[in-house]
Structure 1
């Protein structure tokens, strides 16, 4: 990331960089973990002040918003990044879960004034075969990087707004 970042003002009042929570679903952990690894790598490569990252794992995507809300309300985190894979099991439930999770994450962000980023992917067609698993594993790397970049850019932008 080539963007220059000024010193972040953090919620914890620390002179170090922002504290960021990653909340990821353990469902399809082997695929979702690619996003969390990419997020860590991207944040650590950035020219932002040293970051403090905490990772929380929950059973599935549906459990992420409550954890995000508690983390945001704690005042200890400057941003939260959510990671999950919500797949179509053939009964259309995934559409309701995906909508509920994304809507709730937006509500957490707006209600707590803590930025929340989503690497919650909801492919229409996912099949448990090697080709799809490999494709989505790689796609989560890309989405993890994008979420990390969006996080840093948003924190920087919000810092400028506060100045």
Structure 2
């Protein structure tokens, strides 16, 4: 699988997606990187398995969850990706309500896909109860790996459905 690592503030490369070889952008927040990175690992492995290694994956790092929708919109508007996935682990830090952050980000991701006609999938997850103990961290690392695999499956299914709808 071709994977391009990028940092925030870099320009999107435009390319023409090849049939059967989707180009997917994965935007990940760097807060709780040890957990979020497991989602990317699961996503990358499953996407490669489902596409026979033909998919192109571009990873874009952003500081936190709030930055994901804007990055997703820029990637989708650039025309070089078939789908975008946003990933963050939003926990209650005791300062503000994490449910608000997660809901705002997921709502904005929905707006991006409706505005750009590019599928945008969410792996922005917030636990009901989280404590930064080794037991909780181990659980959520494994949970995010699973969610990454599920996101890859959903991504391939959504792209297939969009292709069928275009052909109809």
The TM-score with structure 1 as length reference comes to 0.89
Cα separation, partners in 2 of 1:59 and 1:13, compared to 1, 3 Å = closer
Tell me which of 111, 118, 122 is aligned to 1:118.
Answer: 122
Instruction: Determine the structure 1 residue equivalent to 2:30.
Output: 26
What secondary structure is seen at the aligned counterpart in 2 of 1:127?
coil
Deviation at 1:105, TM superposition (A): 0.3
Tell me which of 67, 70, 91 is aligned to 1:66.
Answer: 70
What secondary structure is seen at the aligned counterpart in 1 of 2:151?
helix
For residues 80 and 94 of structure 2, the distance between their equivalents in structure 1, rounded to whole angstroms, comes to 40
For residues 84 and 41 of structure 2, the distance between their equivalents in structure 1, rounded to whole angstroms, comes to 15
Contact 1:17–1:48 (CA under 8 A) maintained in structure 2? no
What secondary structure is seen at the aligned counterpart in 2 of 1:46?
helix
Q: Which runs of 5+ in 1 are unaligned?
A: 1-10
Deviation at 1:47, TM superposition (A): 4.0
What secondary structure is seen at the aligned counterpart in 2 of 1:55?
strand
What secondary structure is seen at the aligned counterpart in 2 of 1:119?
strand
Deviation at 1:125, TM superposition (A): 1.1
What secondary structure is seen at the aligned counterpart in 1 of 2:128?
coil
Deviation at 1:14, TM superposition (A): 3.1
Q: Which runs of 5+ in 2 are unaligned?
A: 1-14
Equivalences for residues 10-159 of structure 1 within 5 A: 12-15=16-19, 17-47=21-51, 50-159=54-163
Count of paired positions? 153
For residues 42 and 155 of structure 2, the distance between their equivalents in structure 1, rounded to whole angstroms, comes to 13
Contact 2:109–2:120 (CA under 8 A) maintained in structure 1? yes
Instruction: Determine the structure 2 residue equivalent to 1:4.
Output: none
Q: Provide Cα deviations, 1:60-98, integer angstroms capped at 9, x if missing partner.
A: 111000000000000110000111100011244212111
For residues 58 and 88 of structure 1, the distance between their equivalents in structure 2, rounded to whole angstroms, comes to 19
The root-mean-square deviation of aligned C-alpha atoms, in Å, is: 1.5
